[in-house]
A and B are shown apart, each in its own frame.
Chain A
Amino acid sequence: MWIGLALIILLLFVSVYGAFIGAARAQSFIKRLPLMVYWSAFLMMLIAALAVFRRLVRVPGLLLMHLGCVFILAGSMWASESGHKFQKKLFGIDKITTGQMIIHEGHSDNCVILKDNKQIKELMELKELPFSVELKDFQIEYYKPAYLYVQTRDGQGWKIPVETGAEFPLGPELGTVKILRTFENFKITIKEGSRTIIDDPQPGFNPALEVQITSPDGQVTTKYVFERFGGHSHTEDKFLLSYRRVISDYISRLRIIEDERIAAEKDIEVNHPLSFGGYHFYQHSYDAEAGQYTVLMVVSNTGLAVVYAGYWMLCIGVFWHMWLRHIVAIKIKTYNKTVTLSAAKSLLSCSKQ
């Protein structure tokens, strides 16, 4: 059992070390051989403990807890990159562990960019899914209202809800601010020498505000404030203006096409992935320049059911062992007490008669 305690302490130190080096390095660290050996040793130790210590099997809470950990470890190892390679070698199951798909609106694709090589485009390794994923539409939704932030050089600031036509006073020394127009895709077109500002319906993404500033002496200036290119100001400007919207949701409207027919359909969002054909599809990223494509993360579901079964066992085991069995014991004790008490009472009343 002391080996078990030593393994737990070792994992504790590994976790703290992993936290110091950041998620990306920790992820590659745990894939290294010593850690693989460690996971296997931990798993074997748990199984050995279950075989050796009879109490671990006889006490249901302890059994569920330890067996739950066995399931979680075994499921994660089965689901890992090496687990997938092992399954390919042994059973010929060739599944993508994890990767990404870039799909343009109105197009379908079945190519998955394998995760490991995503930084080096020339070496990008592609693999095909046995079905295609079509992106009907990609949408970004924002919280309403959006805000215009106004800041003076001496640090005074205002947060103004964006409402076209509404005038906002900044005080007697600074004048007023009024939002005249909002743009989803701000563009300047030059036709026959004259400049026009339009909200371009063509693909593109350049949200902006047209803002009118009226100084206390009646002088009117018009400014354009861009969401994506904020923070610029001239030395003569009294204010620094910025336009900020908070994203409330990303939605990819997806369709799965298999054998030229629609096999599944779902609008995926963060927290609402699509599950199909042994894979999960997650909203991962998007085209920040023009909102024209979505980036999906594709993850194999191999081993997931085993891990979740382990989670259930662990939780039920811990709650049973530390909470419920004591509550049940107290309930039985009080029930027995009342039964004995009432039996004694009836005995007493019988003997009186």
Chain B
Amino acid sequence: MKQFVYADNAATTQLDTDAFEAMKPFFLGEYGNASQPYSFARTAKKALKESRETIARCIGATPEEIFFTSGGTESNNWAVKGSAFSDSNKRVTITSSIEHHAILRPCADIERMGYPVSYLPVDINGVVTAKTLSEYIRENTRLVSVMMANNEIGSIQDISALASVAHSYGATFHTDAVQAVGHIEIDVNALSVDMLSASAHKFNGPKGVGFLYVRKDTALAPYASGGVQEGGMRAGTENIASIVGMAVALEKNINKMDKITAHIEMLESMLLQRLSESNIPFSRNGSEKHIPGNISLSFPGYDGEALLHRLDLMGICVSTGSACDSKETKVSHVLRAIGLNSDLAKGTIRLSLGKSNTEQDIDAIVDALKRIMK
């Protein structure tokens, strides 16, 4: 039987089995609408409340500050557009040039509507400095949005320093933490963020659900009207099963974070050491401070897309560019932003290891690359 090595956890993760078991009752038996007043809705209502409390606890927030969404893309769209539309006087949004398209496209949308957007440059490691933000921010800046960890190269930003600059100008600070939640320690108060986006399927929860953390008293226009759910801010009957699954998955990852991180970092070191020993020329992209297991590698003279498909034929899943851009052969905006030359950019793949990966997986990946590049 052909091997199967999944090394694309930044694209999505396998649903946790405890999360799946926790979800099951809400598909068939406990299908009540949590907004209804009768006793049959009680279990759903209680599950919604407890899930909100769990998630709040995991990131140092209060339950009232957690708003459930359909995922990271919705949370990001809401943060950008809801912030822009909440204040007609302060109209400028600042973001970084390496954001996920779930931030860049809503920014382009509000630009077309007359809300200016500035895009901060990054250094060679994909880092936005507080100094750079200080050079761009003005009194008319409404929102600063910088992702906590980049999906393609794994670089982690100094969020508290950036938030501090934003606040000194009276601006709201949002972070797309989709790649970070469940993988590194997050305390919204220590970070001083006003809004934070998360997506369950990135931390072993189900697809199609996420949340937006919104600090109390942050001005934000509602995302969807039509019901009183989520305090009137995001109408729509709640997906109780998925919300429950998300909470279970997040809490489990948080509780085991030290152990999982140590395991992934061990695999990461093993991979890089074995690659170095194999005499395969490669370079690694991204900063030293990165999401554990997110490994962007450039192989000069090779085609990243060809590598992806050759590895796929050997049963190994990786990415080239971001997962959402995997159908295109264009060089990603992230690699362009960090100044990677076209030969290296074209020959870049991303491996993203997860808690289920093993030493045997690492051997398989390195052996496959050696076979391709012999």
A binds B: no
Residues of A at the B interface (CB closer than 8 Å) are: none
